[in-house]
Chain A
Amino acid sequence: EDQVTQSPEALRLQEGESSSLNCSYTVSGLRGLFWYRQDPGKGPEFLFTLYSAGEEKEKERLKATLTKKESFLHITAPKPEDSATYLCAVLGNTDKLIFGTGTRLQVFP
């Protein structure tokens, strides 16, 4: 059964304090791993798609990496506006996107 586990559930950072969010997955035939950002009361906003182990993608202060078992979302020198819930999802042979429960990030000035 396809499964996604995200850790930690919640993360509090001081502004400028870099850290990483983890997404561990098991999936039959990985076709893509996705990262989304979700603000309270809003729909998820697409960030990245990763397709194969070793792939990396960057966007401003965010960098996503992928191995055969997990993905990391690295946040470099975060700012308060980076506070949100970050969701990871995988697409396998079932054609259904399977989501993790998310990591709630709070960045304090």
Chain B
Amino acid sequence: DGGITQSPKYLFRKEGQNVTLSCEQNLNHDAMYWYRQDPGQGLRLIYYSQIVNDFQKGDIAEGYSVSREKKESFPLTVTSAQKNPTAFYLCASSIDLFWDRGRDYGYTFGSGTRLTVV
């Protein structure tokens, strides 16, 4: 079955450490996204990518970095510059960035990675 795989499910980061969250999809989707979810807040967009080797900052990109070297993969690095990284991180994908009205589909999400600073 096609889908999005995020790993690890739980991740612990020490102060001053960079960590990388993995996101792999086998849906042949062009667009991929990273969201952050905090209690009581809506999902907030960190970065998104429409095609390989291209990505754009979302609303809260500071302290994060991404790469898109392969269509299937969109890893997110949480750097030491991110002062409050504890959150639930969600990766998503869609067929393409520009919606074609009439195609009844939405973003497909992974199962998430819970990152905690220790």
Contact = CB atoms under 8 A, between A and B. Distances in A.
Q: Do A and B bind each other?
A: yes
Contacts of B111: 42-43
Contacts of A36: 106, 109
Nearest to B106: A46
Interface in B95-112: 97-99, 101-102, 104-112
Interface stretch (B13-21, B40-48, B62-70, B79-87): B40-48
B29 to A, nearest CB: 13
Nearest to B3: A43
A41 interface: yes
A45 B109 contact: yes
Interface of B: 4, 6, 33, 35, 40-45, 48, 58-59, 90, 92, 97-99, 101-102, 104-112, 114
Contacts of A51: 101-102
A65 interface: no
A32 B101 contact: yes
B106 A49 contact: yes
A4 B42 contact: yes
* Majority secondary structure, A binding face: strand
A91 B31 CA distance: 15
A43 B110 contact: yes
Contact of B99 (A31, A41, A46, A87): A31
Contacts of B90: 43-44
Nearest to B43: A99
B2 to A, nearest CB: 14
Nearest to A91: B99
Nearest to B102: A51
Contact of A43 (B44, B58, B97, B109): B109
Given A42-B111, A42-B112, A43-B90, A96 B104 contact: no
